[in-house]
Amino acid sequence: MDKFVIECGARLVGEVQTGGAKNAVLPLMAAGLLVDDWLTLTNVPRLKDIDTLCGLMRFMGAEIDGDPATGTLKVRASKITKPEAPYDLVKTMRASILVLGPLVARCKEARVSLPGGCAIGARPINLHLAGLEKMGATIEIEHGYIHIRAEKLIGAKIYLDAPTVTGTENLMLAAVLADGQTVIENAAMEPEVVCLADALNKMGARITGAGTDIIKIEGVTKLKPVEVEVIPDRIEAGTFMIGAAMTRGNVLIKDCPINYLETLAVKLKETGTTITEEEGGVRVIGDWPIRSVDFRTQPYPAFPTDMQAQMMAMMTISGGLSVISETVFENRFMHVSELKRMGADIKIDGRVAIVTGVERLSGAPLMATDLRASASLILAGLVAEGTTEVSRIYHLDRGYENIEKKLGGLGANITRVKDEAKKK
């Protein structure tokens, strides 16, 4: 398995470009299943999760084209020969469930593997299924697969018990071609949901309210293929913001979607970090000692769960005590035991972590456990004394494009070491 070797001591200084948002690209690709000609996406990053969805869409009969060098990805689903998502593909990426809504809308029938458990929580999809049932679909679960059928989906009023992001997207994708009006209440308000709604509207859908907790969708009979620019990745940009702040760096993050990162910016400012908007980007200047802050993850626009691990890494070297509550996922503290191996002082009580800042972390061999946890270990490695090795970095490759190149460009001493066994 490849690993990263990080040497301590660098202040991150310079400029870094934010890439397109993984969590926006995936539902946009699924939207490609709703039209029979090329849907073109631009500003698409090169990521493992996107390759996985390309593989799944090809399996179903869609064509995929584009030029990774220019960040263009094209999807054409003129025919869907197999409306199926097999377990082998779904198990590597839970977001594959996003094909469920479009497949039933377009093909009237689909067979999609139930995603299994996940490192960060149980992550059920009951709300996706209940919403589709409300729209008239019949659902049977057998042998680990969801078998869904609907001669015609009918608009419905759907209340989500939790504002699920991919659930909201799946239901929007199903409702755009349904008969009549669908109303999704307690909808997710994340920027990626808005990006999908904007794209669908450009394709001819009639969606209002995206970005609020009530989304209304008037069904239409046909959508047209268009070109869509993917929004910048707020989590990647936020990871660089924290990196700059905790290394006492000075970084201009280009195309940083600061308007989607307000809660993170507020918390970083409380730590003593300076954040200013400049032409083309956002400048982040870190200062020591880092003041400790408390925070609580919640759905957008509150503090994102996808930034919790990285911010916790920063708190491990703060000058005080930080209380961190994770309310979105029940098991998203997997990075804690690794950070503790570096000398961090962290106590966990259920969904609350209490971090007492220490003077310094010390480099150690570490194991990445999930995507954002991996990013937190890399950030910790930047400030830890000595050498840090982070293995299992395939988690990181799912969602950060070329992180070693981007951090290296800012002065970090980080090297990807290829697995010897794989090289042979």
**Among residues 57 and 290, whose Cβ is nearest to ligand EPU?**
57
**Among residues 17 and 168, whose Cβ is nearest to ligand EPU?**
168
**Among residues 95 and 317, whose Cβ is nearest to ligand EPU?**
95
Q: Which of 337, 330, 397, 391 is nearest to 119 (CA)?
A: 330
CB 56 within 8 A of CB 75: no
118 included as an active-site residue: yes
Q: Shortest Cβ distance from residue 192 to ligand EPU (Å)? A: 6
CB 191 within 8 A of CB 233: no
By CB under 6 A, name the binding residues for ligand EPU. Answer: 23, 26, 95, 121, 123-128, 162, 164-167, 188, 192, 305-306, 328-329, 371-372, 399
Question: Where is 75: in which H helix or E strand?
Answer: strand 72-76
**Among residues 86 and 124, whose Cβ is nearest to ligand EPU?**
124
Give ∠ CA 13-318-12 in degrees, rounded to 5.
Answer: 10
- Tell me: cis bond preceding 299? Omega within 30 of 0 counts: no
How many whole angstroms separate alpha carbon 172 and alpha carbon 196? 9
Give ∠ CA 103-106-112 in degrees, rounded to 5.
Answer: 15
Q: Which of 38, 144, 148, 37 is nearest to 102 (CA)?
A: 148
**Among residues 73 and 361, whose Cβ is nearest to ligand EPU?**
73
Residue given tokens 């990006």 in the structure block: 195
How many whole angstroms separate alpha carbon 290 and alpha carbon 271? 5
The one catalytic residue in 8, 54, 107, 118 is: 118
Pairing verdict, β 109-113 and 84-85 = parallel
How many whole angstroms separate alpha carbon 100 and alpha carbon 43? 25
Q: Which of 368, 321, 318, 323 is nearest to 341 (CA)?
A: 368
Give ∠ CA 5-95-353 in degrees, rounded to 5.
Answer: 55
How many whole angstroms separate alpha carbon 20 and alpha carbon 407? 17
Pairing verdict, β 227-229 and 39-42 = parallel
Give the orientation angle of helix 165-175 with respect to helix 126-134, to 10 degrees.
20
CB 102 within 8 A of CB 33: yes
**Among residues 123 and 269, whose Cβ is nearest to ligand EPU?**
123
CB 372 within 8 A of CB 235: yes
**Among residues 10 and 173, whose Cβ is nearest to ligand EPU?**
173
**Among residues 23 and 52, whose Cβ is nearest to ligand EPU?**
23
Backbone angles phi, psi at 7, to 5 degrees: -100, 145
**One-letter amino acid of 18:** T
Question: Where is 389: in which H helix or E strand?
Answer: strand 387-391
Catalytic residue numbers read: 118
